[in-house]
Amino acid sequence: MSSNNGIDKRKQVLFSQAEINEMLDSIPSNVRRYIDSLQSQISNMSDIGLALSKERDMEKLLEMILLEAKRISNADGGTLYMMTDDQRLRFSIMITDSLDVHMGGTSGKDIPFYPVKLYDNGKPNENMIAANAAINGKTINIPDAYKAKGFDFSGTKAFDEKTGYRSKSFLTVPLKNHENEIIGVLQLLNAQDIKSNKVITFSERIQKNVEALSSQAAVAITNQNLIKDLEILFESFIKLIASAIDAKSPYTGGHCSRVPEITMMLAESVNGMDHGPFSNINFSDKEMYELKIAAWLHDCGKVATPEYVVDKSTKLETIYDRIHMVATRFEVLKRDEEIKFLKKQLSIHKKDTLSEIDKKEAVKKARIIYLKKIKQFDEDKTFIEESNFGGEFMSQDRKDRVKKISSYRYKNNGSIKSFLSDNEVYNLCISRGTLTPEERKVINDHIVVTIEMLEQLPYPKHLRNVPEFAGGHHEKLDGTGYPKGLNHGEMSVQAKIMAIADIFEALTARDRPYKKGKTLSQAMRILGFMKNDAHIDAELFDVFVKEKIYLKYAEGFLDPEQIDEVKD
């Protein structure tokens, strides 16, 4: 019943268009103009509110606020101050039409004035009108600055004397956020009569309109600041993860922060192409930001990779380098040979059947055999130590020598043991680098963990491709990459960019324990081979070469001795 009554009441206030027109015609012209003015103001406030909510550029947003405040108040000038973290009002924009002054904002001109202090030696700076409005959170309407009491307008008067200007009426409005905190101050100068252009006082109606605008402006500024703060927090958290990964291993330190540098250099070059295969690509600011985030997160899965694998600088290294145990065994072999030789020598001297000459000859032969074995042990030790470092390639004959050395026997705690364990032989015979196939799989699996981690995050729309970009930097165009074995057509341009960046950084990195950072010419030659083998994108590599991105990166991140001539 009450619902029907509500419907009836709403019906009672509905009029036909003809009835509305008839009522409007009966309204006196001066009242009609007032209504039109109100409608226009409401429409303008609605439009500016919508515009403020859409603008993402802070400088443009602040300038829009000041210009609109000047428009609705018909003010000749205005200044917008923004609050700093140390409780000062920073000059953000200054505009005075009659003096053709436009500083700050989008003008590109710096404002040469120091920020206004809210407190001086702990005392409120209430003599300054802008500071007073910020401290007390109240609008200040001054009809004439030269007659105002309680405020210091000495700076204003000095400016007038220098320029011939006459500062008169001031309207100073504090900007408050949703927590009632002051985030800035809007100050308007010299309201003008619309008909005569004479300077007048800011009326109460104008003050309310400007205060309404200031409220909308504060909301828009606060929203922008919140978005910016969240982005800064998000980026800082991402960089924290990357820093933690880099800090986890002294040998890959810096990789997570250097790959984004190369990635963005290449992406910016691709974005600037007006001809060729990438002429139709135009990454937006959001897409560039998305790629940057992906580059920072491309190895986040390494947080789950064991340190003993990530940091494996030698073939025998686990928690510690077992080469020291092997070296001790060689000393045991040498000790045993020395004991054997000394016993042999003693045995020879005890034989009464031998002459002194024969004894000396027998000892000499025994020493030759002893010294030969000691020399062999020293050579084998040096060979094992060299093999432990893991060069570019270990030939089969070197592997056979490792296995031969493993057949030595030595006594440990009364028992005879093989000189090298099966695991030590297996590691020492690694063909390239320091990792076994099993350990390399653990390393490679970091990209699987990366994808799994990134796919769990609830991304906003403009970051939804981060897992794909970050997770594709080990894929190859011929489908032989990992973890998904994607081919050329299944990979995005962004993932292909990151693949080149990741490889180039790894080749030139100078902080790897198992190799020196390659020179530019060496790294570019290897990338050239990878291009020919369809492991990286040929067209992107051409951009990398022609735009000399490798050199731009090298000048900032490589040692001078790594920077040599690269032939196109």
Summarised one tens digit per residue, pLDDT across range 107-165 is 989 999 999 999 988 899 999 999 999 999 999 999 999 999 989 999 899 999 999 99
Q: Are the CB atoms for 213 and 45 separated by under 8 Å? A: yes
Residue 212, phi then psi, degrees to nearest 5: -65, -40
Asked whether the CA dihedral 236, 239, 245, 250 is positive or negative, the reply is: negative
Torsion of CA 279, 285, 291, 294, to 10 degrees: -170
Task: Give me 240's structure tokens.
Answer: 């924290």
Torsion of CA 399, 404, 405, 407, to 10 degrees: 130
Average pLDDT over residues 339-346: 93
Q: Is 558 left (phi over 0), alpha (psi -120 to 50) or beta?
A: beta
pLDDT for position 251? 60
Contacts of 17 (CB under 8 A, 6+ apart): none
Nearest to 231 by CA among 304, 168, 310, 293: 293
Interatomic CA distance for residues 29 and 308, integer angstroms: 88
Beta-carbon neighbour count of residue 19 at 10 Å?
10
Length of the chain: 568
Beta-carbon neighbour count of residue 486 at 10 Å?
20
Checking if the pLDDT of 28 tops 80, the result is no
Average pLDDT over residues 251-264: 85
Nearest to 259 by CA among 567, 557, 566, 59: 557
From residue 440, give the alpha-carbon distance in Å to each of 385, 433, 552.
22, 10, 32
Q: What counts of helices (H) and strands (E) characterise the chain?
A: 21, 12
pLDDT for position 504? 96
From residue 499, give the alpha-carbon distance in Å to each of 215, 338, 503.
49, 57, 6
Q: Are the CB atoms for 339 and 366 separated by under 8 Å? A: no
Task: Give me 382's structure tokens.
Answer: 């040096």
Average pLDDT over residues 259-269: 96
Helix segments in 445-482, DSSP class H: 446-454, 466-471
pLDDT for position 172? 97
What SS3 class is residue 172? strand
pLDDT for position 7? 43
Summarised one tens digit per residue, pLDDT across range 499-554 is 999 999 999 988 665 567 899 999 999 999 999 999 999 999 999 999 999 999 99
Q: Which residue has the tokens 């001066």?
A: 30
Secondary structure of the chain: what % helix, strand, coil (to 5)? 55, 10, 30
Interatomic CA distance for residues 47 and 41, integer angstroms: 10
Average pLDDT over residues 6-12: 47
Which CATH number among 3.40.50.620, 3.40.50.20, 3.30.450.40, 3.30.70.20 corresponds to the domain 55-226?
A: 3.30.450.40
Average pLDDT over residues 60-78: 89
Nearest to 78 by CA among 60, 65, 59, 89: 65
Please report which helix (H) or strand (E) contains residue 527, including its range: helix 520-532
Q: Are the CB atoms for 260 and 466 separated by under 8 Å? A: no
| Res. 21 pLDDT band, cuts 50 70 90 | low
Q: Which residue has the tokens 């200031």?
A: 214
DSSP calls for 39-99: HHHHHHHHHHHHHHHH---HHHHHHHHHHHHHHHHTEEEEEEEEE-TTSEEEEEEEEETTT
pLDDT for position 13? 53
Domain covering 249-302+442-562 in this structure, CATH number: 1.10.3210.10
Checking if the pLDDT of 262 tops 90, the result is yes
Checking if the pLDDT of 255 tops 90, the result is no
pLDDT for position 444? 84
Checking if the pLDDT of 203 tops 50, the result is yes
Residue 23, phi then psi, degrees to nearest 5: -65, -40
pLDDT for position 9? 46
| Res. 210 pLDDT band, cuts 50 70 90 | very high
pLDDT for position 33? 59
Helix segments in 282-434, DSSP class H: 285-297, 307-310, 323-350, 356-388, 396-406, 422-428
> In the chain, what is the straight-line distance between the N-terminal and C-terminal CA atoms, in Å?
87
Helix segments in 129-254, DSSP class H: 129-136, 154-163, 204-248
| Res. 2 pLDDT band, cuts 50 70 90 | very low
Residue 183, phi then psi, degrees to nearest 5: -110, -10
* Residue 250, preceding peptide bond in cis (omega within 30° of 0): no
